[in-house]
A and B are shown apart, each in its own frame.
Chain A
Amino acid sequence: MAAAELLKFENVVAGYGKETILHGLSFAVPRGAMTTVIGPNGAGKSTAFKAAFGMLAVRSGRILFEDREITNRAPRELIGEGICYVPQGRNIFPELSVLHNLEFGGVAAPKGTDLKARIEAVMDRFAVLRRKARHQASTLSGGEQKILEIARGLLLQPRLMLIDEPSIGLSPLLVEELFALLRELRKGGITLLMIEQNAKRALENSDYGVVLELGRMRLQDSARAILSDPRIGQLFLGGGLSA
């Protein structure tokens, strides 16, 4: 039987140049669930994602996916394993059309994949992408751009999606819609690992939570337990809980 964890960090040390950011980070991501990573600014949350996706060298420790070591493997290989990564901010090509942006999600597809059909299916799911398929991607609103990035990631039918602060810059209503979409993806069998500043909202939508501080895992528990932990409320949730 497959392990309960899909992704696992084991004593991961990584950083930029001489600076070490992750000081032996260990945590596990339960399969088929939605896990939110929270922690103060600069804790190393984004750095952990970059390390997992082969964008930053891991100096020691291991990262496992499906119990297989994936430490320091290239993004293209990780895509092949079924991992997709949606970084923070705007990660589209504004001058190309929406359709051509979407198409990039299939660049690393194995030979013989019917990308046309998959693009059609994704556009069926996200009507706005079909409606604006021929428009320049720069004409999309912030929320639509995030949807494009997620849709692009779905093209290869990933098993794990790493998504870094997707709600940044979106109105509260759009944030709700986005979280609803992520819950739906989870229901469809995709394991989600998300970083969120909006910790309370994100945890309310998640199954599990991981708290990072100074490049280490401080706490890992069910989202509900973290939400009701008074220490966490003080530290990271900005008083939102007590209100």
Chain B
Amino acid sequence: MLPAFFILIGTHTFGLPFWLAAILGGVATLILLGLAFKKVMVDPMIHHGVLPLVIATIGLAILMKEAVREFYGADAWPFPALWATTDVTLFGAVFAVQSLLILATCIVVVGALQLFLAGTLTGRCMQAAAQNPAVARLLGIRVERMILYTFLINAALVWIAALLVTPIYLAKFTNGEILGLYAFIAALIGGFNQVRGAIVGGLLLGVIDNFCAVYVSSSYRMAVPLLVLIAVILVRPQGLLGRVEERTV
């Protein structure tokens, strides 16, 4: 949600061309949601445990949401698309070019991320810092820096997601919420500790959701992800593709 409004501020308030606003919005996202979020919120709070941090993050999300509503109002703002908003017919089915673009970008970005995390020493150091920070530290891995990289990558992904999704959902102060909830459920269904899991969960959820809307009832649509989630958690608590994690005591 936030990167979309950064970009809108660029085009509306400063009259920048869209491409420049998009780049500057990306930089602002990296600095504010990446660097500043880590330095101002996470670093001072992480010593008090994860739960206070989660609560503080939820608080921050509410603050940002309400701030956007305060300054931009509750209306949905149109947002330019990166690509044509037309449909194409492939194998007899109609696809929105937008959706195909999102899917393709998703595959490329996730592939690149996987390649980076598994295929480079820095990526593996990030994995090590996440899996066992104490051991990572005693090997001389700069754990703090790895965490910062994680936040920056995270911010970059948010920016990409905003560019892709906002033209469809329009820029609205509640954007993050519903999508975030869906994404969270998708990750739980697919398996939280696996990127593949989140994607499979997302696709599965999307397909089930649409079939239900067409063949069952569109008014119960919002309940479907939750029902799927309950079913999966009962049968496979680690998610469809998730691995059971061992915790050393």
Binding site for B on A (CB under 8 A): 53, 55, 75-76, 79-80, 85, 87, 89-96, 100, 103-105, 107-108, 152
Contact = CB atoms under 8 A, between A and B. Distances in A.
B124 interface: yes
Interface stretch (B138-146, B200-208, B226-234): B138-146
A48 to B, nearest CB: 15
A104 B127 contact: no
29 contacts: A53-B138, A55-B134, A55-B138, A75-B137, A75-B140, A76-B142, A79-B139, A85-B138, A87-B135, A87-B138, A90-B248, A91-B132, A92-B135, A93-B128, A93-B131, A93-B132, A93-B135, A95-B131, A96-B124, A96-B127, A96-B128, A100-B124, A103-B121, A104-B136, A104-B139, A105-B139, A107-B125, A107-B139, A108-B141
Contacts of B124: 96, 100, 103-104
B126 to A, nearest CB: 12
Contact of B141 (A55, A89, A107): A107
B139 A152 contact: yes
B75 interface: no
Given A90-B248, A91-B135, A103-B121, A79 B128 contact: no
Nearest to A89: B248
Interface hub of B124, B128, B132, B140 (most chain A Cβ within 10 A):
B140
Contacts of A94: 246
Contacts of A89: 248
Interface in B102-155: 121, 124-125, 127-128, 131-132, 134-142
Given A75-B140, A107-B121, A107-B139, 7 more contacts: A55-B137, A75-B138, A79-B140, A87-B138, A91-B132, A95-B131, A96-B124
Contacts of B138: 53, 55, 75, 85, 87, 91
